[in-house]
Structure 1
Amino acid sequence: MHWSTTRVQRPKQLQNACKGKSEIEEDTQPAKRQTPLEKLTLEMCKDEAVIKELTVGRRVGFYKVRGQIGCGNFSKVKLAVHALTKDKVAIKIMDKMRLDLQTQRMLSREISNMESLYHPNLLQLYEVLETPSRLYLVLEFAGGGDLHTRISSGGKLSDQESKIVFAQILSAVKYMHENNIIHRDLKAENVLYTTNACIKVADFGFSTRVNNRNQALDTFCGSPPYAAPELFKDESYMGPPVDVWAMGVLLFFMVTGTLPFRADTVAKLRQTVLEGAYVLPTWVSAPCQRLIKGILKPEPLERCALDQMLGCEWLLPVELFRPIPPLYQLNPIHLMEAGPGELDREQEEVKGILDKLGITQEHILNNQGKRIRSPITGVYRILLHRVKRNNGAESVPIISGVVKDPKRDSLRAYRNLRHSSKLCVLS
């Protein structure tokens, strides 16, 4: 398969030889078969029903808008289907007239941060569309609900499920911090399940990019029950430990079904958090208790680092294989710039689907510089995500069982020897 901006006409059928001269001349210029992209573009320009849907908001760009699936302070989220690829997406819709200057800055930061992250456990941004009155963020659709709803309706997670969920959150946050982006609003409502139980960290409205991980921040962000003690002190703070604290609250919520810090008012909650007053049920496994206690330390610098969490006893049995694709793959120009044999199997598959849809090299060349604000980028990112997902890029971590730790095993053997061996009994 190769890309070209011209189409090769099919040869005439043999029966043309039996036709009259005028018929043959008429058939020498057969009607060009429209590609799906050409057909859709024509419908959006000339089909009255489609034009009406675009006018009343039942269509946005290439997306057919369905029912509402969520809402926020400044936005509502609707389910939609891409008219070309048929993939489901979530569209976050914001009324620009209601956005003050600070909210506009936050939104710009959210878009920039999401555009620069590419991880299997982070909700993906496909495309941004804008009209004079509205802004649309086209997002990956995670159809399995959120963690808060799952626990509120079904109770705490099992120890095994908690490990699988927490390991994915940890992988996502570690990747963000390595790219100098702090989430600042980690909570159960922002942890989403896909239909195949893969976890997606979502909602980057309060996220911020720092020059380095020790940079001081001074904006109170996020939900009070998940807020670290330093946020309640009205002082500057470092970003990574704030995310780490919120992860500790999340883990507590997963394994117990309740939040560690609860109060009737924010003032009482503040006091509870500053005192570090929480009680871990005795039935929570000892390795998990040690991890929670290592995270929920009032002093930011004393909290567990993310690498320490990855190597902790509680998570050791979790096999978390997460190949992180390079960021340049998010730009469709990569398909054209790659030399012979440089595209992997997934990229070749995406290229083939684009060709069938009628998206040519010319479309991609004209797309340069538009980045996320382009329907061509939207189609490409949706297809790339679909292909990678179908090839197992979002497979759920596996619990491998008891991990053999030579040091721990030798210590256990020594303790057993000391207490049971007749040769070692001291009188």
Structure 2
Amino acid sequence: MPANNNQVSLRLQHHSLWSLTDSSECEQEREDNVTTRCPTPLEKLTTDMCQDEKTIKELTMGRRVGFYKVRGQIGCGNFSKVKLAFHALTKDKVAIKILDKTRLDLQSQRMLSREISNMESLSHANVLRLYEVIETPCRLYLILEYAGGGDLHTKICTEGKLSDHDSKITFAQILSGIKYMHDNSIIHRDLKAENILYSCNACVKVADFGFSKRVRNRNEVLDTFCGSPPYAAPELFRDESYIGPPVDVWAMGVLLFFMVTGTLPFRADTVAKIRRCVLDGTYILPTWVSAPCQRLIRGILKPDPSERCALDQMLGCEWLLPVDITHPTQPTNKLDPLRLVLADPGDLSRDEQEARAALEELGITDEHILNNQGKKSRSPVTGVYRILMHRVQKSRGVECVPSISGVVKDPKRDSLRAYRSLRHTSKLCILS
């Protein structure tokens, strides 16, 4: 008889781990109530994870990670692999980046920590989202937004260069995402076609923040060589200190060249030869590239970073003027479900109210949220909340692909174009 009591005690403690609460009394109350009402989706899932043989086997074999059902591999890196997965409660698709901690040296661990921290603070339609972080003794799992449309590099290599129309749509979204990052003091430092992803509805996502860096100000001096050589700015090859934003700008110029021509402006068989090409700064723009686009590329790919056009100037250039590139951004406090509990109900946005209602339907209560405060992305409650918030935002069109209308003069954006390399200036001003 004592042995049976011990088994019950162990089962309750294990169940408490997955029910997201530290209170054994609440757990006992839940056990008592199970005979009087149907279990919530959360209770059913956590019970299965502790008692269902099939679910336990999937957890043991790695076919489940936390609340996620893992499926096939969709990508890989030097120290990681990416797999498709489904959230067991919300049924949403996610991408899981799996890293082997035993293969990470001290520098790689610092970079990974920085990647997580930087993604924690970003919430934008054109920036890949981090939902949750799960850590085991041997592995680290980054639960990311799933971009099912593939990457820009594969798209161009298989289908050829983009049309002028598609290039505008894609580049405008990249520009919107990078400007948002720079406005939040984060430099990407590894922009390349492989790191530009498409969602299933063709919305562009800037991804892979492994080399990203948070700076104190935009003029902070950096000294680490980062990124892919064909996209690297001249100052990186000079082995000298550099300013972060112009490095991202240069890589955007290479990306734009690649989109409209299908080839890279600086290419060679070896890194040394690429270095010479970049330092020489010579490239050939095909005649089929439109004149406004050519002017933009030349304004970006300037060897001197101080002469390179800024993001605000790019926003107002003639080539992008017909594109609506404004995307609403979300305050970072919406990344934390604790706001649902601490904020006055009248202060919650419609999106937050919808997300809260969805959490309640799944069985996630205020108690669950309070018990997980301070864990940020290392909490399954945060993971569910961020997935639901993202779903709500997408349902109201936050991630609509920008459209191109007729060329309409916009005084606010037109004033940003006052730099001689990208437009012909005129001293004549006509007031109507």
The TM-score normalised by the length of structure 2 is: 0.87
| Pairing partner for 1:311 from 313, 316, 322 | 316
Secondary structure of 1:196's aligned partner: coil
- The 1-side partners of 2:58 and 2:36 are apart by 29
Tell me what 1:298 maps to.
303
Amino acid at match of 1:85: T
Tell me what 2:151 maps to.
146
- The 1-side partners of 2:248 and 2:407 are apart by 29
Tell me what 1:181 maps to.
186
| Pairing partner for 1:258 from 259, 263, 275 | 263
Amino acid at match of 2:241: S
Q: Structure 2: state its 5+ residue gaps.
A: 1-24, 27-32, 415-422
Quote how far apart the aligned CAs of 1:95 are: 0.7
- The 2-side partners of 1:410 and 1:333 are apart by 52
In the TM superposition, what whole-angstrom CA distance separates every residue of 1:336-384 from its partner, at most 9, and x where no partner exists?
2222322222211111111110000100110111111000000000000
1:392 aligns with 2:400: no
1:380 aligns with 2:385: yes
- What are the equivalent positions in structure 2 for 1:206-245 lying under 5 Å apart? 206-245=211-250
**Alpha-carbon distance change, 29 to 180 in structure 1, aligned in 2, over 3 angstroms:** closer
1:40 aligns with 2:45: yes
**Alpha-carbon distance change, 83 to 250 in structure 1, aligned in 2, over 3 angstroms:** same
- The 1-side partners of 2:193 and 2:34 are apart by 61
In the TM superposition, what whole-angstrom CA distance separates every residue of 1:162-189 from its partner, at most 9, and x where no partner exists?
1111111001111111111110000000
Contact 2:169 2:323 in 1 (8 A): yes
1:348 aligns with 2:372: no
| Pairing partner for 1:283 from 271, 279, 288 | 288
1:56 aligns with 2:68: no
Tell me what 2:86 maps to.
81
| Pairing partner for 1:125 from 130, 136, 149 | 130
- The 1-side partners of 2:226 and 2:345 are apart by 48
Aligned length: 389
In the TM superposition, what whole-angstrom CA distance separates every residue of 1:235-272 from its partner, at most 9, and x where no partner exists?
11111110000000000000111100011111111001
- The 1-side partners of 2:402 and 2:280 are apart by 36
Quote how far apart the aligned CAs of 1:282 are: 1.2
1:274 aligns with 2:282: no
Tell me what 1:362 maps to.
367
1:170 aligns with 2:175: yes
Amino acid at match of 1:55: T
Amino acid at match of 2:390: H
- The 2-side partners of 1:331 and 1:248 are apart by 35
Secondary structure of 2:44's aligned partner: helix
- The 2-side partners of 1:326 and 1:209 are apart by 18
Quote how far apart the aligned CAs of 1:405 are: 6.9
1:109 aligns with 2:114: yes
Tell me what 2:419 maps to.
none
Q: Percent identity?
A: 74
Contact 2:176 2:326 in 1 (8 A): no
- The 1-side partners of 2:34 and 2:84 are apart by 43
Tell me what 1:417 maps to.
none
In the TM superposition, what whole-angstrom CA distance separates every residue of 1:80-104 from its partner, at most 9, and x where no partner exists?
0000000000000011111111100
**Alpha-carbon distance change, 30 to 69 in structure 1, aligned in 2, over 3 angstroms:** closer
Tell me what 1:19 maps to.
none
**Alpha-carbon distance change, 41 to 401 in structure 1, aligned in 2, over 3 angstroms:** same
Quote how far apart the aligned CAs of 1:32 are: 2.4
- What are the equivalent positions in structure 2 for 1:395-410 lying under 5 Å apart? 395-404=400-409
CA RMSD of aligned residues (A): 2.1
- The 1-side partners of 2:425 and 2:103 are apart by 64
Secondary structure of 2:180's aligned partner: helix
Quote how far apart the aligned CAs of 1:321 are: 2.7
Who wins on radius of gyration, i.e. which is larger?
1
The TM-score normalised by the length of structure 1 is: 0.88
- The 2-side partners of 1:169 and 1:312 are apart by 15
- The 2-side partners of 1:369 and 1:220 are apart by 34
- The 1-side partners of 2:243 and 2:273 are apart by 24
- The 1-side partners of 2:353 and 2:378 are apart by 24
- The 1-side partners of 2:345 and 2:225 are apart by 51
Quote how far apart the aligned CAs of 1:409 are: 12
